[in-house]
Chains A and B, each alone.
Chain A
Amino acid sequence: MLRPATRPALAATRQVRQCAARFLSSPASPDTSSSHVNNPSTTPKTNPSSPPPNSKSTTSSKGKKPLTAEQRAFLSSALRVNQAGELAATLIYTGQTPPLVTRDPSLRPLMKHMYDQEAAHLRTFNDLIYRHRVRPTALYPLWSVMASGLGWGTAMLGKEAAMACTEAVETEIGGHYNAQIRQLLEMVSEWEAEGYEVGGEFRDLLNTLKRIRDEELEHLDHAVEHDAQKAQPHWLLTGVIRAGCRGAIWVSERV
C-alpha cells in the first residue's frame, strides 16, 4: 500500500534500476544473467591468502591486457571511496539505531538488517582495499565523526528524518555505484572488443558491486516505506544530505 507521496521516490528507484538493467542487458555486457543472482562463487574472496586466479585459460590468444595508469587510478579511487562510503553507512546506522529503537521498538529488526548488510559491505571493501594495496582515505577520522553525527542527529529529529537521511544517502550511493559499474563494464567490453581476456578478478568485482548496489537500493525502498517522505521539510533534509554525500564522494576519490 503506497501513499501518493511515496510514489515519486519509488519511481526514481525504479528508474535507476531500469537504467541499470538496460545497461546490463546491452550486448557489451559480459554477464546479464548473474546480475541478480547472489551465487556464492561471485562473492569476493574473503580469504586474502588464497592465491589469485593466475590460471591462464587457452581460449584467448592475446591473454590479459595490463591496466593503464588511468584505469588503476580509477580503480583505486573507486575502492577508496566505496570503503569510505560503507564506513560512513555503518556509522550512520550505528548512530541512528539507539534513539530510533527506544522510540519505536518495532524498527529494531529493520535497523539490524540494514546495519548487518552495511557491515558486510565494509568488510568486503576492507578486504579488497588490502588485497589490491589501495591507500585508504586520509580523512577516515573526519568521515567517522561526521557520519556518526549525521546518524545520531537525524535520529534525534525523529523517525521520519532518519528515514529521509537513509533515503538521501542511498539514492546518492545507488547512483554512484551505477556509475562505477558502468565504467567497469566499459573497461571490460573494451578488452573483449580488442580480443583480450578478462580476469576473474574483474568479474568478481563487477558482481560484488552489483550485489551491493542492489542491497543499497533495497535500503532506499525500506526507508521510503517507513515514511521517509513525511519528514518536514523533506526537500531541505534530503537536499542537504545528498549534497553532502556528493561532496564527500568527490573528496574521498582524491584524498
Chain B
Amino acid sequence: MRPSPIPLRRAARQILSSSSTIRAAAPALPTARRSLNTSTSTTGSDCTCGNGSSRRPQIQQLPKQQQHQQRSSYHSYDHPSSPAAFTPVEESILSVAYQHVPSHGFTSSALAAGARDAGYLDISPTILPEGAFTLIRYHLVKQREGLAARASDLFGGEGHVGARPGLSEREIKARVEAVTWERLLANAQVIGRWQEALAIMAQPSYVPPSLKELALLSDEILFLAGDSSVDPSWYTKRASLSTIYAAAELFMTNDHSPEFMDTRAFLNRRLREVNEVGGVFRNLREWVGFTATAGVNVLRSKGVRI
C-alpha cells in the first residue's frame, strides 16, 4: 500500500516555509555585522592605547590590492611609487617583534612581545589581520627590499640597477647565483624557526601571498643580476629560479655545515642542472630553426616561389 501523499506534502511545505524563514532572516545578518563593525571601530579609535601616550594605533589597512600589487608593474625612476607594504603602526610593531623571532619564533607571542616593547598594548597585534603570517611576510618583504643594497655592495656600487651593457651570459649566471646566495644568507638569523614559517606559509589561505612574494623575489634577483631578457625566457627563468630558491631554502633549514656550505653546493648544483636542461632546449630550437630556414632556402633556390 502506498502511503498517503498528504503527510508528505505537508512535510515538504514545512521544509519550504522553514527555508523561507531562513532566507528572510538572512538579510538581517549583515546589518547586525555592520553595526558590530561600527561599534568596534569607534571603540578602537576612542581608546588610547600605549602607556598613556597620545599615540594610538590606527586601525587602517592598505587596500588588499595595493599590498599585493607593489613592484609588480611599471617601475618608475622619476616618479617612484612604492606604497609601503605596512602601515607605520604595523611597521613599528613588526620591526620590534622581528627581534623576538629567534627566541619566540614566528608566533603571536613574538608579536605580543613586539607590541609591548613598541609601547602598545599586548592586544594590539590583533590589528594584523593575518596574525603570525604578517610577521613572516614582514621578513620576506624586508629581506627582498634589502637585497638591492647588498647587490650593489657585491657588484661594486652600481646603484639600484644591476645591469650594465655587455654582461655576458656567464657573468649574469654568476651574478644570479651570488644574489640568490645573499638572499639565502639573510635567512640565517631565523633559520631555526624557518621550518615553522614554511609550515605556516603552506596553509591554504597563505599560499597565494607566499607564492606572490616568491615571484617578486625571483624577479628582483634576476633584475639585480642584470638579466635583460624580455622574451618567453622571462617566464621560464623566473619559474626555475623560484623553484630552486624554495628548494634551497628548505635544504638550508636542515643544514648544519659551517657557514651553510652544503646549501651553497646544493644551490650551485641546481642552477647548473637548469643551465644544462636549458642548453638542451636552446640547442634543439636552434637546430630546428636552422634546418627549417635551410630547407626553405633550398626550395627557393630550386625556383619554388615561397
Cβ-Cβ contact count across A and B, 8 Å cutoff: 102
Given A48-B228, A72-B73, A129-B230, answer yes or no on A199-B79 (Cβ-Cβ < 8 Å).
yes
Do the beta carbons of B163 and A49 come within 8 Å of each other? Answer: yes
Nearest chain A CB to B250 CB, angstrom units: 27
Q: Which of A5-13, A29-37, A133-141 contacts B (4 or more CB under 8 A)?
A: A133-141
Say if the beta carbon of A233 comes within 8 Å of chain B. no
Q: Is A61 an interface residue (CB 8 A)?
A: no
* Residue in B66, B78, B228 whose beta carbon sits within 8 Å of that of A199 in the complex: B78
Q: Which residues of B contact A201 (CB under 8 A)?
A: 76-79
- Of the candidate stretches B13-21, B37-45, B231-239, the one touching chain A is B231-239
- Give complex CA distance A102, B300 in Å: 9
Interface centre among B76, B79, B219, B306 (most CB of A within 10 A): B79
Max count, chain B CB within 10 A of own CB: residue among A129, A131, A201, A202: A131
Interface members, chain B 41-90 (any A CB < 8 Å): 65-66, 69, 71-81, 83
Contact residues of A between 11 and 56, Cβ < 8 Å to B: 47-49, 51-54
Which positions 144-165 of chain B face chain A at CB distance < 8 Å? 158-159, 161, 163-165
CA distance A51 to B300 in the complex (A): 49
B77–A134 contact, CB under 8 A?
no
- Interface residue range, chain B: 20 to 34
CB <8 Å contact, B159 and A65: no
Tell me which residues across on chain A come within 8 A of B71, comparing CB atoms: 133
Q: Which residue of B lies closest to A50 (CB)?
A: B161
List A110-159 residues whose CB lies under 8 Å from chain B.
126-127, 129-136, 138, 140-141, 152, 156
B266 proximal to A (CB < 8 A): no
Q: Does B223 contact A (CB under 8 A)?
A: yes
Chain B interface mostly: loop
How many interface residues does chain A have, given as a range? 35 or more
- Closest A residue, CB atoms, query B82: A66
CA distance A202 to B228 in the complex (A): 21
Q: B76: nearest residue on chain A (CB-CB)?
A: A67
**Would A67 and B74 be within 8 Å (CB), given that A48-B165, A99-B305, A156-B306 are in contact?**
yes
Q: Is A130 a contact of B230 with CB atoms below 8 Å?
A: yes
In the complex, chain B residues whose CB is within 8 Å of the CB of A244: none
CB A118 to nearest CB in B, in angstroms, measures 16
B120 to chain A, nearest CB (A): 29
B residues less than 8 Å from A47 (CB atoms) = 165
CB < 8 Å neighbour of B69 from A53, A69, A71: A69
Instruction: Tell me the complex Cα distance, A98–B72, Å.
Output: 41
Bound state CA distance, A76 and B75, in angstroms?
9
The main secondary structure of chain A at its interface with chain B is: helix
Query: Which residues of A in the span 61-83 have a Cβ within 8 Å of any Cβ on B?
Result: 64-69, 71-73, 75-76, 79, 83
Say yes or no: B65 contacts A126, CB within 8 Å.
no
The one of A52, A72, A99, A102 that contacts B78, using a Cβ cutoff of 8 Å: A52
A48's partner among B65, B163, B219 (CB-CB below 8 A) is B163
Residues on the B chain within 8 Å of A52, using CB: 77-78, 161
If A48-B163, A72-B81, A138-B235 touch, does A132 touch B76 (CB 8 Å cutoff)? yes
A65's closest neighbor in chain B, by CB?
A: B79
Closest to A74 in B: B74
Q: Is A200 an interface residue (CB 8 A)?
A: yes
Interface centre among A68, A98, A133, A152 (most CB of B within 10 A): A133
> A73 to chain B: which residues have CB within 8 Å?
73-74
| Interchain CB contact under 8 A, A79 and B74 | yes
Contact B79 A66 (CB under 8 A): yes
Q: How far is the CA of A200 from the CA of B231 in the complex (A)?
A: 27
Determine how close the nearest CB of chain A comes to the CB of B154; give it in whole angstroms: 15
Report Cα–Cα, A131/B226, bound state, in Å: 10
* Chain B residues, Cβ within 8 Å of A98: 300, 306
Say how far B294's CB is from chain A's closest CB, in angstroms. Answer: 14
What residues of B have a CB within 8 angstroms of the CB of A64 in the complex? 78-79
Tell me the nearest residue of chain B to A199, going by C-beta. B78
Q: Complex formed: what's the CA distance from A138 to B236 in Å?
A: 11
Measured CB to CB, the closest approach of chain B to A146, in angstroms, equals 15
- Closest Cβ of chain A to B295, distance in Å, is 13
Q: Decide yes or no: A140 and B74 within 8 Å by CB, A48-B161, A133-B219 being known contacts.
A: no
Are B163's CB and A53's CB within 8 A? Answer: no
Q: Which 6 A-B pairs have the closest CB atoms?
A: A199-B78, A52-B77, A66-B81, A49-B164, A75-B74, A201-B78
8 A–B pairs (Cβ distance < 8 Å), ordered by A: A47-B165, A48-B228, A71-B74, A76-B74, A102-B300, A127-B228, A131-B77, A201-B79
